[in-house]
Amino acid sequence: MNNRYQRQTLLPEIGEEGQFKLQKARVLIVGVGGLGCPFALYLAGAGVGHIGLADDDVVSIHNLHRQILYNESDIGLPKAECAVRHLHVRNSDIEVKAYPVRLTSDNAEQLIAEYDIIVDGCDNHATRYLISDICHRLKKTYVYAAIGAFQGQVAILCHPENAATYRTLFPDEEVMGTVQAEKGVIGTTPAVVGSIVANETLKLIAGYGEPLLGQLLVIDLLKLDIQKMILT
């Protein structure tokens, strides 16, 4: 086993068997912004063998306070392609593929079908409904995450052991379409929430611990308050 991962393979919950599962796993990250950057860094660092990055945006200077994969030399360049380059510098053993496109009803199913787990780094409800509906239909696990200001949410949806979907959380798509996303955010919010999402994803892949199935994790960093709500 590659000694790059020796500190995590020492953990009995992971070991060489768990590391092999990570190596074989295929994870698609939709959105490589504030949330997607820590997902990608920690999954790549842990040795997840096949990572797809879907994002049609370019790096802007106002991204840099929280989107920790990028630097000033990336400004104006496609996020997905920059992220692939930086991740390969950190771990050349894994396959990372860029999809510099926006997920739409025309391309989403074909893209999602190539991966085992879909991780949510996007910032709009329409894309989340699309991801959830396709994951539910294709029986793919969807790790949902959202942030704003000092708050965040995480849930594991469309999993074989739990029937909850994004529509379970937000049944009225028309109403959600009128909700404006919170524009302000402190850089530590995606760092904390993104690390939790990466941890949940690793648990799902390697088969250890108790993944956040059937629950919504709600985090308030202003009060350092964490709650779990049962999804029904």
2 domain-assigned: no
Beta bridge partners, 96, equal: 51
**Is the pLDDT at 147 greater than 80, yes or no?**
yes
Q: Residue 59: which CATH number?
A: 3.40.50.720
20: exposed, middle or buried (C-beta count within 10 Å: 0-12, 13-18, 19+)?
A: middle
29 domain-assigned: yes
| Model pLDDT, residue 1 | 53
121 domain-assigned: yes
Q: Tell me the whole-structure pTM to 2 decimals.
A: 0.95
188-231 residue pLDDT tens = 999 999 999 999 999 999 999 999 998 999 999 999 999 999 98
4 domain-assigned: no
Q: Which domain holds residue 192?
A: 12-230
CA angle, 204 then 90 then 44, to 5°: 10
| Model pLDDT, residue 155 | 97
**Is the pLDDT at 178 greater than 60, yes or no?**
no
Distances (CA, A) of 224 to 66, 77, 166, 199, 221: 19, 36, 25, 19, 4
96 domain-assigned: yes
Q: How many domains does the chain have?
A: 1
The token duo for 223 is: 């009060």
63-122 residue pLDDT tens = 999 999 999 999 999 999 999 999 999 999 999 999 999 999 999 999 999 999 999 999
1 domain-assigned: no
3 domain-assigned: no
Pairing of strands 117-120, 95-99: unpaired
**CB atoms near residue 40 (< 10 Å):** 28
Average pLDDT value over all residues in the chain: 94
7 domain-assigned: no
| Model pLDDT, residue 180 | 64
**pLDDT above 70: percentage of residues in the chain:** 95
Q: Please state the rounded mean pLDDT for residues 143-153.
A: 95
| Model pLDDT, residue 9 | 96
